[in-house]
Structure 1
Amino acid sequence: MHILFLTDNFPPEVNAPASRTFEHCCEWVKAGHKVTVVTCVPNFPKGKVFDGYRNRLWQQEQMAGIRVIRVWSYVTANEGFARRVADYVSYMVMATLAAPFVRGVDLVIGTSPQFFTACAAYIVSRLKGIPFVFELRDLWPESIRAVGAMKQSAVLNWLERVELFLYRKAALIVSVTNSFRVNLAARGIDPLKVRVITNGVDGTRFQPRAKDEELVRRHSLEGKFVAGYIGTHGMAHALKTVLDGADWLRQRPGGDVFRFLLLGDGASKPELMRQAKERRLDNVIFVDTVAKDEVVRYWSLLDASIIHLKKSDLFRSVIPSKLFECMGMGIPVLLGVEGESADIVQREDVGLVFEPENTEALCQRLKALFDDTELRQRLTQRGPEAAARYDRRTLAIEMLGYLQDLRPRES
């Protein structure tokens, strides 16, 4: 089978969509299938083209047996609704134009978060007469409303109609959460064509390991209890709560033992850094995005991992992919997300849950971890055991089975 995958995020980018797509495609290639990915030049999250790449009309390379075609797109930082839409639309147009040059394709997958990629996949499916698969990673444009990036308008209503059109036209919808499946069913989409393949973890990379001593020295973390956030610093993540927590703790007796490490980039990072400097939060350390192979070194520094999203009903349906990486590394989780992801943390016993955007609750959970050695050890041991149930390879093969079901049966 020849799978055509359209995605605007792909390695060497290191965000969750890029990692999921790459790791799934690798497993499909290992299973004997041909995979072609049409993507754009790597530039996320800063909106700057990575070293070694140029924003050309067409370029291609081989990565782990995957044919990767990179097309031109309007490259911009993740700032401003109009610029982001220009980025999305330019990729949609160029991916649609590039796809006819990929021959012998059996099906096409378009992945969110935003659905312009799925629009391109639908058009390609009609041009080639092949099934269209919608991989649903985010309820977009509903998430725009949730973070307040755009007010209620006719434009959002139109985008929602396009979203529902794509769901109806998809031969298969692969959702990353059960909550998304329920949401679609409530909006009239046939639940029988929605399959849930959660995010997972590459157990060969994310394993328990000792703290990286070189990084401990570099960031002066000797003898400190490190709580970290690793990932995109965006509007949805409401990371001011972490800064408020750092401020709250440093004013309490014994609070000097805590350090907060924030690794990554995003639209909110400059403002977060400005606030930290203004408030003289010397217990907060900012680190820019690092290469994929370096991420586990920074994970190893953490005594607790903070996973946080803005308090919103929409985010009750979200399962942050970093949760599974924390499990694999054996790092206790402090989860400021309600809903399905909180259910996983409590069911698997891998962390403590707190109310989103509640600074005092975050600090109380962090102190509980620090004070209770037995609790910390139990959560640490439970992580890798739970991670085995979310193995990326197993999930990729399960998804492959659903894709193979779409192929016409030979007579």
Structure 2
Amino acid sequence: MHIAVVNQHHHNPDCPATCRHYTFLAQLALRHRVSLVASDGWRRTRITDTYSWAPTGVELHECPVPYANSMGVVQRLKSFIGFAMAAFRKAMQLQTPDVLWAVSTPLSTAWVVAQVARLRGVPWVFEVQDLWPSFPIQMGAVKNSLLQKRLYRMEKRLYRSASHIITLSPDMTEYVVSLGISPDKITTNYNGTDLALAAAVQPEEMAELRHTYKLQHKKVVLYAGTYGRANDIPTLLQTIEAMAANLSITFVLAGSGYYESQLQALAQRVPNLLLLPPQPRPEIFKWFKLADLSLITFNDLPVLQTNSPAKFYDSLACGTPVIVTNPGWTKRFVEQHGCGWYVPAEQSQALAQGIVQALAQPQELEAAGARGAAISRQLFDRQQLVKEVEAVLEQVVR
């Protein structure tokens, strides 16, 4: 089977990113021909040079289109349009695939794949990583009401056009069904994590980190991810400042993004905040293993309740319980499986209280971590999740 994948946001494990598709494509390339149409925008985020940029066996067709999380709305729009145009040309030049696979976001990637699929007479699969256009609209990036309506109509047409839809959370699936799409056409495939990277972390590596950063006898609360406008970083700032006198707790934040300068200023004022640069994928698992608790924070917006954050899966795989602030499926999940706690979004006092209460129960903290690790092995192993995606692709081709 010849699988053609179109993904503007391709990464490899040298980057500070989830790398879901790197793992998936590495496995699929063992059994199928895989062509990847991607931008080169994330090459500059490589921190190490350990991995090949595309997995062995994957044919890379790269589009020179810049992208960065620091871009504003206009710059991002130019990047999306630029990639759409370049990806259309690349995809039309490929030897005819058996199936096209669109990794969205942005929605423009799915639109391009739908056009190529129609022109070349092949089926296509729509992987929904975030709900667009709901996300940019609710974040205030698309204010024109006429444009909003057009984007929603395009979204619905794309769902209908796709031969199959893959979503990354049950709440995304529920949303797509609410638009009149048959549940039989949708597969929920969790974002998942790389269990082998979690298992590879050695105790001496964690001990070295504790020594290097003077974390002996400290409770470590970790936030690892983007400091973006959707991540409720202002609440995190307020929480850390309010807990500055509690020197038994150290907040470790690893990432970059919009609120980086405010976090750097806070780190100069409080003694228990450690800011780290973005970490390559193998390194971030060491921090998740070391941490006593990790935070998965997002703004209080309906669209963000559906998301499928990589740090949620990575933390649980490392046996580190989580505090989530989404009242959607992640809240239901941690409560059902006893692997974390829920605190309402945008409430710094409640978040501080939740952190203190969780850390005050070391036995329950350890038990919650063990439950999280167990459910990760059962549900979140990307080596198993890719088989489900492979089955979808094969079904569509048949």
Q: Normalising by the residue count of structure 1, what TM-score does the alignment of the two structures yield?
A: 0.89
**Equivalent residue for 1:284?**
273
Match among 105, 108, 114 for residue 116 of structure 1: 108
**Equivalent residue for 1:327?**
316
Aligned counterparts of 1:212 and 1:147: Cα–Cα separation in 2: 38
Report 1:261-340 matches (<5 A): 261-277=252-268, 280-340=269-329
**Equivalent residue for 1:350?**
339
RMSD: 2.3
SS of structure 2 residue aligned to 1:305:
strand
Report 1:140-179 matches (<5 A): 140-179=132-171
Q: Is the 8 A contact 1:336 1:355 kept in 2?
A: yes
Q: Is the 8 A contact 2:41 2:67 kept in 1?
A: no
Alpha-carbon offset, residue 310 of structure 1: 0.5
**Equivalent residue for 1:57?**
none
Would you say 1:249 and 2:251 are equivalent positions? no
**Equivalent residue for 1:9?**
9
- Structure 1 unaligned residues grouped into runs of 5+: 54-59
Aligned counterparts of 1:164 and 1:15: Cα–Cα separation in 2: 32
Q: Which amino acid aligns with 1:214?
A: E
**Equivalent residue for 1:374?**
363
Aligned counterparts of 1:144 and 1:61: Cα–Cα separation in 2: 29
**Equivalent residue for 1:99?**
91
Q: Is the 8 A contact 1:122 1:166 kept in 2?
A: yes
SS of structure 2 residue aligned to 1:338:
coil
User: Which digits, 9 at most, give the CA deviation of each residue in 1:110-165, with x for residues without a partner?
Assistant: 11122111112112212221111110111111111333334353222222222112
User: Which digits, 9 at most, give the CA deviation of each residue in 1:156-184, with x for residues without a partner?
Assistant: 22222221121111111111112122212
Aligned counterparts of 1:22 and 1:75: Cα–Cα separation in 2: 18
Q: Is the 8 A contact 2:103 2:126 kept in 1?
A: yes
User: Which digits, 9 at most, give the CA deviation of each residue in 1:182-204, with x for residues without a partner?
Assistant: 21222222332111111112211
Q: Which amino acid aligns with 1:246?
A: I
Report 1:125-136 matches (<5 A): 125-136=117-128
Alpha-carbon offset, residue 281 of structure 1: 2.4
- Structure 2 unaligned residues grouped into runs of 5+: none
**Distance change (3 Å), C-alpha of 1:128 and 1:262:** same
Q: Which amino acid aligns with 1:35?
A: V
Q: Normalising by the residue count of structure 2, what TM-score does the alignment of the two structures yield?
A: 0.92
Number of residue pairs aligned between Structure 1 and Structure 2: 392
Aligned counterparts of 1:292 and 1:385: Cα–Cα separation in 2: 21
Match among 65, 68, 73 for residue 65 of structure 2: 73
Aligned counterparts of 2:68 and 2:244: Cα–Cα separation in 1: 37
Alpha-carbon offset, residue 52 of structure 1: 10
Percentage of identical aligned residues: 23
Q: Which amino acid aligns with 2:387?
A: I
Q: Which amino acid aligns with 1:232?
A: T
Alpha-carbon offset, residue 209 of structure 1: 5.0
Alpha-carbon offset, residue 98 of structure 1: 0.8
